[in-house]
Structure 1
Amino acid sequence: MLRQLLTLFGHRSMLILLLIINVPGTIYGFYWYWGQLQNTPPSFYIFVPDSPTASLFFVFVLIAFLMKRNWPIIEALAAVTLIKYGIWAVVMNAATGMLGGSLNWQHYMLIFSHAGMALQAIIYSPYFRIKMWHLVVAAIWTLHNDFIDYYFGMHPYLSSHLMPYLDSVMVFTVSLSVFSILTVYYLSVRTKTLKLSINV
């Protein structure tokens, strides 16, 4: 039953639909970071727009699938960062509300869209062809990004309700990176029983 359900996501029409969703979302994500990028040293540009970079990786994965190809390093980068930043944004927005912040429609849109990011990585994990060294590359990228974010202060803007808890946010973020890496290892590297092929 699960295999049949997941097979639906390998059809060309589903891949095109996800491209239609992810491309505008990625563009909007980079636009959302525009203000922060204007105050960012050029050497850190690549490390600032976390979520749109994750979805950009996935856009390339979808394009490769439509070409009946696998790009495992991009798949590893997409899978780890989609899970990490998808969950991170949901938790940060929810925490803002729990600490007394006012949540508007944009916050709920971010919660919904970022939950979808993490879900995409899990759904497509049987289609990935990630090997251990691909995951190691993604792990280095992700943990290095955390270092840049919290050592040099390049982390995404946080609400005033969260800033007093910045150290806790840092610990949560690094822990979430490790969780995301281990999740991708389990779903796409270690697991051999459920491997699917794109049907385009």
Structure 2
Amino acid sequence: MNLSWFWSRSFLMNRGMLWLLFVVNLLGTIYGYIWYGNQLEDTLAHNPLWQIVFVPDSPTASLFFTLVLLYFLFPPKSSSKWINGTRMIIEGLAVVTSVKYGIWAVAMIVAGGWQGDPLNWQHGMLSVSHLGMALEVLLYARFMKAGGIAAFIGTLWLLLNDTVDYQFGVFPWLAEQLMDDLPQVELFTYCLSIFSFIVGWLALRARKQV
């Protein structure tokens, strides 16, 4: 069997594979929101309610991709502009957010470990799962209907999220060793948003019609 078959349309768009990824991503999304539980409670206690949506970055990214998998499994029968537009925006959000937070989380784990944060099996699990987020969305981008405009809209959301995170202090909790490097983390986060747009745009340009 040729290895290229494993990233072919026949393999990736097989309904069994789509259902497997849907279940894995749904469970991962739920786990992600639970993981953010303490920070969500802290934000509700000390910040305005509207900021809560900007707290759980990675699980929201995986939620977008979970919705994309639903579109693959159950393509909308209607071809209205509203339905198609909504789908493309969700796909654009899924691509840029999954690339960004997949990389960002691993970068923060590595940076924290480099500066002395004790690493354990959970850090390894989080690294593998977040890299998987970025990889899977890039594999499936070519089967999406979204284009550059949707990726741009998704990037506007990323930049808004970055601004709220670092202006109001609701960024994902970091290892204590990284708190004295917060300006550098903020700069890296903004740059990664732009990088994610470029990568996402290129991936969507290579898409095939489903």
Quickly name the TM-score band, shorter chain normalised.
Answer: over 0.9
Task: Give the structure-1-normalised TM-score.
Answer: 0.92
Task: Give the structure-2-normalised TM-score.
Answer: 0.88
- Counting matched residue pairs gives 194
Q: How many Å separate the matches in 1 of 2:8 and 2:195?
A: 23
Q: How many Å separate the matches in 1 of 2:16 and 2:116?
A: 42
Residue of structure 1 equivalent to 2:142: 126
Identify the match of residue 7 of structure 2 among 5, 27, 31.
Answer: 5
Identify the match of residue 170 of structure 1 among 175, 186, 208.
Answer: 186
Residue of structure 1 equivalent to 2:67: 60
Following superposition of structure 1 onto structure 2, how do residues 17-56 of structure 1 map, counting pairs within 5 Å?
A: 17-40=20-43, 41=47, 42-56=49-63
What SS does the corresponding residue of 1:161 show, helix, strand or coil? helix
Q: How many Å separate the matches in 2 of 1:108 and 1:160?
A: 18
Residue of structure 2 equivalent to 1:76: 92
| Ranges of 4+ aligned residues in structure 1 off by more than 3 Å | 1-4
Assess if the C-alpha contact under 8 Å between 1:55 and 1:117 holds in 2: yes
Q: How many Å separate the matches in 1 of 2:96 and 2:124?
A: 23
- C-alpha distance after superposition, 1:27-83 (max 9, x if no partner): 010011111111213111111100000000011000111013472110100000000
Q: How many Å separate the matches in 2 of 1:165 and 1:135?
A: 30
Assess if the C-alpha contact under 8 Å between 2:102 and 2:133 holds in 1: yes
Is the aligned partner of 1:182 residue 2:198?
yes
Amino acid paired to 2:8: L
What SS does the corresponding residue of 2:171 show, helix, strand or coil? coil
Shift of 1:5: 2.7
Q: How many Å separate the matches in 1 of 2:128 and 2:147?
A: 30
Assess if the C-alpha contact under 8 Å between 1:6 and 1:123 holds in 2: no
Residue of structure 1 equivalent to 2:111: 95
User: Which ranges of structure 2 fall in alignment gaps of 5 or more residues?
Assistant: 77-83
What SS does the corresponding residue of 2:170 show, helix, strand or coil? coil
Amino acid paired to 2:202: Y
Assess if the C-alpha contact under 8 Å between 2:148 and 2:204 holds in 1: no
Larger relative contact order (CA 8 Å, sep ≥ 6): 1
- C-alpha distance after superposition, 1:167-196 (max 9, x if no partner): 11011111000000111111103x4xx515
Is the aligned partner of 1:153 residue 2:169?
yes
User: Which ranges of structure 1 fall in alignment gaps of 5 or more residues?
Assistant: none
